[in-house]
Amino acid sequence: MAKASKVVEKIALQCTECNRKNYTTTKNRRNLQGKMELKKYCPHDRKHTLHKEAKVK
């Protein structure tokens, strides 16, 4: 049997101001083809900032 391709992948959300990876989440590649961008709270900056998708190491 062939392996099924991964539809859901793990990603990290990286702060655009301090460049730290603060959050991890999952993303469905069929529904979201581009990079995910969310406004989340950054504990290092102590304010809400834009977080962009990055790879999980």
CATH code: domain 8-54 is: 2.20.28.120
Report the percentage of the chain scoring pLDDT > 70.
Answer: 93
Where do the domains of the chain lie?
8-54
pLDDT in tens, 28-51: 999 999 999 999 999 999 999 999
Question: What confidence score (pLDDT) does residue 6 get?
Answer: 83
pLDDT at 57 over 70: yes
- Give me the pLDDT at residue 4, please: 66
Q: How far is CA 22 from CA 9, 30, 55, in A?
A: 17, 25, 12
Percent of the chain beyond pLDDT 90?
A: 86
Contact 12, 26 (CB under 8 A): no
Q: What is the pLDDT of residue 17?
A: 97
Measured distance CA(42)–CA(18) in Å, rounded:
9
